[in-house]
Amino acid sequence: MFGFLNIYKPVGMTSFDVVAVLRKISHIKQIGHTGTLDPFAEGVLPVCIGKSTKLIEYLASDKAYLATVQFGANTETYDIEGKIVEKFDRQINVTDIENVLKDFEGEIEQYPPIYSAIKVNGKKLYDYARAGQKVEIKPRKVNIYKIELRSFDFESQSAQIYVECSKGTYIRSIANDLGKKLESGGYLTKLVRTKAGKFGLDTTVKLEDIKTEEDVERNLLNPASYLDLRSYNLNDYECERVGHGMAIKNVEFNSGEVVILLYGGKIYAIGIAESSWIKAKKVFGVL
């Protein structure tokens, strides 16, 4: 098998749990996911099957989320799974939120949560947290391409916020930082990833609907449609050359550009363009 699955990850499972289930069903060990989701989060989780795992590095890394933020308290994990560590009496309104959201647009510096898998001195941050050890956490630059308030319930002090962002952005940190700016506290109660690169909710399949190898194969997506790269259709002669590790003539691509080499509408290889030639970097063959 060769292709992508766009799984709707359910609440309560880790991204690695999803991969384990698919390995058991498909009897394929070479399976990988792109973009970890916390167990309490749900939504778009692209999964690469078979040799398509070699294409992960070429997938677009931007993400989009619909986050539900509860104001009035902070938790130790910045989400609903953590213990409440501080409460606030201040009530906020729509205008308060909209005014503060502007501060999160563009390139920002963000401190990741202490309960995260980022490593400091070879040790994951959540290991320090669980051991009660203090560690210096350095801010990281991330890009927030779009952030907007979708809805707000004044009575419950709960808001739905839509975020489009770069790889490595912690939405939990946004919730916590938003609460700080509003002096009201804030933490995530729900998180739905609505987009990962070119994968959206419209092409997701529920994990519970994947029960057999045939289900996996039937729901595979053609990787050529999901890579943010230009492509070139090989003729029979060029296909044979690429298959034998030989270069083909470059007629339209910039030197250094990564190119999808298609044969019969499917990915045959990934090539690198040089001044006069395209050399194969990864050859998959006829799949």
Q: What is the CATH number of the domain that holds 13?
A: 3.30.2350.10
- State whether 67 and 191 are in the same domain: yes
228 is catalytic: no
- State whether 190 and 72 are in the same domain: yes
- State whether 191 and 203 are in the same domain: no
Taking the C-alpha atoms of residue 52 and residue 43, their distance in angstroms, rounded to an integer, is 21
Query: In the structure encoding, which two tokens stand for residue 83, read together?
Result: 């213990």
Given the residues 38, 127, 153, 209, select the one marked as catalytic: 38
Taking the C-alpha atoms of residue 26 and residue 5, their distance in angstroms, rounded to an integer, is 12
Q: What's residue 261's pLDDT?
A: 97
- State whether 143 and 85 are in the same domain: yes
Q: What's residue 122's pLDDT?
A: 73
- State whether 50 and 168 are in the same domain: no
DSSP 8-state code for residue 264: T
Q: How far is CA 175 from CA 53, 69, 213, 246, in A?
A: 33, 6, 40, 52
- State whether 152 and 263 are in the same domain: no
DSSP 8-state code for residue 137: -
Structural domain tally of the chain? 3
Domain boundary pick from 195, 214, 247 = 195
Element (H, E) at 178: helix 171-182
Query: In the structure encoding, which two tokens stand for residue 222, read together?
Result: 């053609």
Query: In the structure encoding, which two tokens stand for residue 45, read together?
Result: 């989780």
Q: How far is CA 282 from CA 141, 225, 270, 271, in A?
A: 32, 18, 5, 7
- State whether 70 and 12 are in the same domain: no
Q: What's residue 224's pLDDT?
A: 92
Amino acid at position 7, single letter:
I
Q: What's residue 119's pLDDT?
A: 75
Which residue range is the domain that position 142 belongs to? 63-195
CA atoms within 13 A on the CB side of 167: 9
Q: What's residue 131's pLDDT?
A: 66
- State whether 31 and 113 are in the same domain: no
- State whether 137 and 188 are in the same domain: yes
Taking the C-alpha atoms of residue 216 and residue 118, their distance in angstroms, rounded to an integer, is 32
Query: In the structure encoding, which two tokens stand for residue 129, read together?
Result: 């947290």
Element (H, E) at 220: none
- State whether 38 and 160 are in the same domain: no
Domain boundary pick from 224, 241, 270 = 224
For the chain, 287 residues long, give each residue's pLDDT as a single digit of tens: 899 999 999 999 999 999 999 999 999 999 999 888 888 999 999 999 999 999 999 999 999 999 999 999 999 999 999 999 999 999 999 999 999 999 999 999 998 887 666 776 777 766 765 667 777 778 899 999 999 999 999 999 999 999 999 999 999 999 999 999 999 999 999 999 999 999 999 999 999 999 999 999 999 999 999 998 999 999 999 999 999 999 999 988 999 999 999 999 999 999 999 989 999 999 998 76
Domain boundary pick from 180, 195, 210 = 195
Read off the pTM: 0.91
In DSSP terms, 141 is beta-bridged to 109
Taking the C-alpha atoms of residue 64 and residue 51, their distance in angstroms, rounded to an integer, is 27
- State whether 51 and 23 are in the same domain: yes
**What's the CATH number where 253 sits?**
2.30.130.10
Q: What's residue 137's pLDDT?
A: 74
Q: Measured on CA atoms in the order 92, 142, 85, 181, is the torsion positive or negative?
A: negative
- State whether 184 and 75 are in the same domain: yes
Q: What's residue 226's pLDDT?
A: 94
